[in-house]
Chain A
Amino acid sequence: MRERSEVASSVRLIASTIRRIVGMPDYATFVEHMKRRHPQCAVPSEREFFDQYVTARYSGGPTRCC
């Protein structure tokens, strides 16, 4: 049982590292941040979080070089 949870957590870690490299913030980290710093606020759902991220990311300056 313990082994399986270790595998699962390393898979999660790898997935989150990959997401961070492409520039996508981690939903789990975000939820944790909201609970810690803004416990009174409602936490957006994963879908809302994704939408907000997409809008924020591509409405500013260049994100990719030549």
Chain B
Amino acid sequence: MTKLLWIAVSALGAVAWGMLALNRGETISAAWLVLAALGTYLVGYRVYSRFLATRVFGLDNRRATPAERLENGRDFIPTSRWVLFGHHFAAIAGAGPLVGPVLAAQFGYLPGVIWIVFGVVLGGAVQDFIILFGSMRRDGKSLGQMAKEEIGPLPGLVAMVAILAIMIILLAVLALVIVNALKDSPWGVFTLLCTIPIAFLMGFWMKVWRPGHTVEATLVGIVGLMLALVGGHWVAESATLAPLFRHGGTTIAWSIIVYGFAASVLPVWMLLLPRDYLSTFMKIGTIALLALGLLLVVPPIQMPAVTRFIDGTGPVFAGKIFPFCFITIACGAISGFHALVSSGTTPKMIRQEKDARVIGYGGMLMESFVAVMALAAATALHPGVYFAINAPLASLGGSVDSAAEAIRGWGFSVTPETLTALAASVGENSIIGRTGGATSLAVGMASIFSSVLGQGMMALWYHFAIMFEALFILTTLDAGTRVGRFMFQELGGHFWKPLARTSWYPSIILSSIAVCAGWGYFLLQGVTDPLGGINSLWPLFGISNQLLAAVALCVGTTLLIKGGKQRYAWTTLLPLTWLLIVCLTAGWQKIFAADPRLGFLSHATRVRDQIATGALDPAIGARLIFNDRLDAVVAAVFMTITVVLVIASAREWIAVLRGRKPAETKEAAYVESAYA
């Protein structure tokens, strides 16, 4: 009976893939996208994750987990599998899986969905699972510590520098996504500003008035958010209030930088903790709502399966389908950042070893499904509307007429009236050139929600979606700046001892300024970039995140080889090889490509020529040239770091395989579990 069921699931998945791949020229239902993904996940989970769990890792419920052995009621707590699944999912899923697929939709729906679904089954979920497994067998050690212990002290240090650098690019690009969604939008700015006093209120509630009453405080916060959302509408309509909240990109960027600094030096309970709770519930709630909406509406996918932009001429970002589809969609297919979470709080809470399968592998499949839903919401938009929102203003021109004209030139049709009406229906002056994915996702989500619940609510749903994205991006910003600060303090402590004192105020302020200046610089660079910023920063983020995944897979491979599982090392070597090919090619192209839209250095050359002919103000030009060179250096640094780490790991593998080094890992000793 179960066998029959699995045959049916596989067959359904195969049929769905067939429908997606063979469909030409007509619209296709989003249901096929969802079915193809779900069918593949189910088979992947059932077959591949079981193979990993039993053969490769040898998960054993008789072996006590750190949660059981080191139980302390605080961070080491045996936790039921499904609660921990929820916790882990909420920790790994963020803005990444929502934004990347939306941007990559410029290639059509097919390349994105293939990479998201097969990438996760063979790569992303394997990475999350093996790091979770490795950390669980090592008392919950972090990725950096495992790299240090299993590969060597220098690789450990290099990995730490890499993590800090990636964090800085990540924060900059996420902040840019928010700035582009909020500029010139009094409604959005007002709602987001309100989240700050709401968080304070929740913080005082949990800390001062009713300690530990998290749930109560969170309910108060959610009600506050909804009031702020409705209030935003009222502000946007008011002739006196609206101008107070209408700001350009640069002002909003500076406010976010100042906010990020303040949030990282204030006590955690005041801002970070309440925001963290709020965004967790908003995230789970909204994702569930999106799934339900998609299920009820089943919108037709309007984007073609494959667009002509696979040749690299796309307006959303430059670069051909290979390697840039695999760079643009990082989270959702494979995300190096997860390795940090999988070696953080989760491994300390696993009750029994076999639970790691559904949490590590299953949790990542779930995130991948979020990415598929984001892709569906974006490709359900009319392609003309999609490109009007996601192409930079530089190529669209400043008006709806010029935008419609440009889009016609790309082979899609949209009327200026449609664009004006759409902007009005979501309560904005204009929606064109809002690069970064947040706006088009919000429009997509709002159209799905309002076709279930009535068209009158479109503007409210749009701003709900914007607030939801802004809320958890700002939470990532708070948390990321703080984590960056700790890393900076630890690294800086090697050079100047007092910096390492994590609770010494001068050190806190100095290192917070350093981290904020780091991401703030790239943010401002993006905001003032004539090409919209996303074009240069998102690929840098993708490359860095994928390279971090490569580092995690190096650690994973080392764990397998040293653990006597050489035979199965292909499970991590396969995604590792693919990532290296993709990232090094993409990095190389971003630095050296002759096309000035793609290559940083050739762009710098073009700017120099423009200055020479007098087409560009020399002061602006000099800044653009500096930024291009800086971006090229950043890409080169990421690539070098990764190559160094891969070589260091490979030497270790060869030493073990040739018998020059004993095949032994730093696993904690076996202790019999009382649960089995």
Nearest to B284 among chain A residues (CB) is A21
A20 interface neighbour in B87, B170, B476, B480, Cβ under 8 Å: B87
B72 within 8 A of A: yes
Within the assembled complex, what's the spacing in Å between the Cα atoms of A15 and B482? 28
Within the assembled complex, what's the spacing in Å between the Cα atoms of A64 and B92? 6
Q: Are B91 and A63 in contact (CB under 8 A)?
A: yes
Q: Are B75 and A66 in contact (CB under 8 A)?
A: no
Quick one: which of B462-487 are within 8 Å of A by CB? 475-476, 479-480, 482-483, 486
A10 within 8 A of B: no
Q: List residues of chain A with CB within 8 A of the CB of B170.
A: 66
Q: List residues of chain A with CB within 8 A of the CB of B345.
A: 23, 57, 63
Given the interface pairs A50-B207, A52-B74, A55-B268, the reply to whether A65 lies near B215 with Cβ below 8 Å is no
Q: Chain A interface: which of B8-16, B35-43, B331-339, B556-564?
A: B331-339
A29 within 8 A of B: yes
Within the assembled complex, what's the spacing in Å between the Cα atoms of A51 and B272? 14
In this complex, the member of A17, A47, A58 whose beta carbon has the largest number of chain B beta carbons within 10 angstroms is A58
Q: Are A66 and B212 in contact (CB under 8 A)?
A: no
Within the assembled complex, what's the spacing in Å between the Cα atoms of A20 and B90? 11
Given the interface pairs A62-B337, A63-B91, the reply to whether A18 lies near B214 with Cβ below 8 Å is yes
B214 interface neighbour in A22, A58, A66, Cβ under 8 Å: A22
Q: What sequence of 0s and 1s flags, for each residue 29-66 of chain A, a beta carbon within 8 Å of any chain B beta carbon?
A: 11111100100000000110111111111111111111
Within the assembled complex, what's the spacing in Å between the Cα atoms of A40 and B56? 44
B261 within 8 A of A: no
Within the assembled complex, what's the spacing in Å between the Cα atoms of A46 and B213? 10
- Nearest CB on A from B177, distance (A): 10
Q: Are B344 and A61 in contact (CB under 8 A)?
A: yes
Nearest to B170 among chain A residues (CB) is A66
A66 interface neighbour in B72, B94, B277, Cβ under 8 Å: B94
B96 within 8 A of A: yes
B331 interface neighbour in A27, A30, A65, Cβ under 8 Å: A65
Q: List residues of chain A with CB within 8 A of the CB of B272.
A: 58
- Nearest CB on A from B284, distance (A): 8
Q: Are A66 and B174 in contact (CB under 8 A)?
A: yes
Q: List residues of chain B with CB within 8 A of the CB of A31.
A: 73
- Nearest CB on B from A7, distance (A): 16
Q: List residues of chain A with CB within 8 A of the CB of B86.
A: 20-21
B341 interface neighbour in A30, A37, A63, Cβ under 8 Å: A63
Within the assembled complex, what's the spacing in Å between the Cα atoms of A29 and B75? 12
B531 within 8 A of A: no
- Nearest CB on B from A26, distance (A): 8
B257 within 8 A of A: no
Nearest to A32 among chain B residues (CB) is B73
- Nearest CB on A from B96, distance (A): 4
Q: Are B276 and A22 in contact (CB under 8 A)?
A: yes
Q: List residues of chain A with CB within 8 A of the CB of B142.
A: 60-61
- Nearest CB on B from A47, distance (A): 4
Within the assembled complex, what's the spacing in Å between the Cα atoms of A58 and B142? 14
Q: Are B73 and A33 in contact (CB under 8 A)?
A: yes
Q: List residues of chain B with CB within 8 A of the CB of A64.
A: 91, 94, 276, 341, 475-476, 479-480
Q: Are A65 and B212 in contact (CB under 8 A)?
A: no
B664 within 8 A of A: no
Q: List residues of chain A with CB within 8 A of the CB of B144.
A: 61
Q: List residues of chain B with CB within 8 A of the CB of A17.
A: 83
- Nearest CB on A from B311, distance (A): 29
Q: Are B77 and A50 in contact (CB under 8 A)?
A: no
A8 within 8 A of B: no
Q: Is chain B's binding surface mostly helix, strand, loop or mixed?
A: helix
Within the assembled complex, what's the spacing in Å between the Cα atoms of A17 and B81? 12
A24 interface neighbour in B84, B214, B476, Cβ under 8 Å: B214
Q: List residues of chain B with CB within 8 A of the CB of A61.
A: 142, 144, 340, 343-344, 483
B79 within 8 A of A: yes
Within the assembled complex, what's the spacing in Å between the Cα atoms of A37 and B72? 9
Q: Are A25 and B77 in contact (CB under 8 A)?
A: yes
Q: Are B96 and A54 in contact (CB under 8 A)?
A: no
Q: Are B94 and A25 in contact (CB under 8 A)?
A: no
Q: List residues of chain A with CB within 8 A of the CB of B84.
A: 20
Q: List residues of chain B with CB within 8 A of the CB of A56.
A: 74-75
Q: Are B479 and A46 in contact (CB under 8 A)?
A: no
Quick one: which of B433-486 are within 8 Å of A by CB? 475-476, 479-480, 482-483, 486
Given the interface pairs A62-B340, A66-B545, the reply to whether A50 lies near B96 with Cβ below 8 Å is no
- Nearest CB on B from A25, distance (A): 6
Within the assembled complex, what's the spacing in Å between the Cα atoms of A53 and B207? 12
- Nearest CB on A from B104, distance (A): 16
Q: Are A65 and B73 in contact (CB under 8 A)?
A: no
Q: List residues of chain A with CB within 8 A of the CB of B94.
A: 64-66
B178 within 8 A of A: no
Q: Are A46 and B482 in contact (CB under 8 A)?
A: no
Within the assembled complex, what's the spacing in Å between the Cα atoms of A31 and B476? 32
A22 interface neighbour in B92, B96, B280, B482, Cβ under 8 Å: B280
Quick one: which of B45-100 are within 8 Å of A by CB? 71-75, 77, 79, 83-84, 86-87, 90-96
Q: Are B73 and A58 in contact (CB under 8 A)?
A: no
B211 within 8 A of A: yes
Q: List residues of chain A with CB within 8 A of the CB of B627.
A: none
B206 within 8 A of A: yes
Q: Are A33 and B71 in contact (CB under 8 A)?
A: yes
Q: Are A65 and B483 in contact (CB under 8 A)?
A: no
Q: List residues of chain A with CB within 8 A of the CB of B87.
A: 20-23
B634 within 8 A of A: no
B96 interface neighbour in A47, A52, A65, Cβ under 8 Å: A65
- Nearest CB on B from A12, distance (A): 10
Q: Are B338 and A25 in contact (CB under 8 A)?
A: no
Within the assembled complex, what's the spacing in Å between the Cα atoms of A64 and B211? 24
Q: List residues of chain A with CB within 8 A of the CB of B83.
A: 17, 20-21
B425 within 8 A of A: no
- Identify the A interface with B (CB < 8 A): 15, 17-27, 29-34, 37, 46-47, 49-66
Question: Which 3 residue pairs are nearest across A and B when measured between Cβ atoms?
Answer: A30-B73, A33-B73, A66-B96
Q: Can you list 23 residue pairs at the A/B interface with Cβ under 8 Å?
A: A19-B214, A21-B86, A22-B276, A23-B87, A25-B74, A25-B75, A26-B77, A31-B73, A32-B73, A50-B212, A54-B273, A57-B268, A58-B479, A58-B482, A60-B486, A61-B142, A62-B479, A64-B91, A65-B340, A65-B476, A66-B94, A66-B170, A66-B545
